[in-house]
Amino acid sequence: MAPITIREILYRLLTGPGGGFIRHMARADSRLNQIARAIVWIKTHFRESCRIEQAVGIAGMSRSAFHLHFKAITTPSPP
């Protein structure tokens, strides 16, 4: 795709109805981003034994905060 087309798509995404959610997700210090990092790790290591302490460390949160935010974002409980 041409750079101008990509720029237009990004502009429409960020200014559209879901723009606030997308901007929040992109912030490195957001809870959503922290949980997303843990989810990526879980997905790439799904064949291994997944310990909650590993996911908590990757997210950079306390165990209770991780559980609360993981549940709020994904609905199921963490592994």
- Residue 29: pLDDT band with limits 50, 70, 90: low
Amino acid at 17: P
Over residues 60-73, mean pLDDT: 90
Average pLDDT of the residues of the chain: 84
- Residue 77: pLDDT band with limits 50, 70, 90: low
SS3 77: coil
Question: Domain-by-domain residue ranges, the chain?
Answer: 3-74
- Say if residues 58 and 38 touch (Cβ distance below 8 Å): yes
- Distance, in Å, from the CA atom of 36 to the CA atom of 38, rounded to the nearest integer, reads 5
State the pTM of this model.
0.59
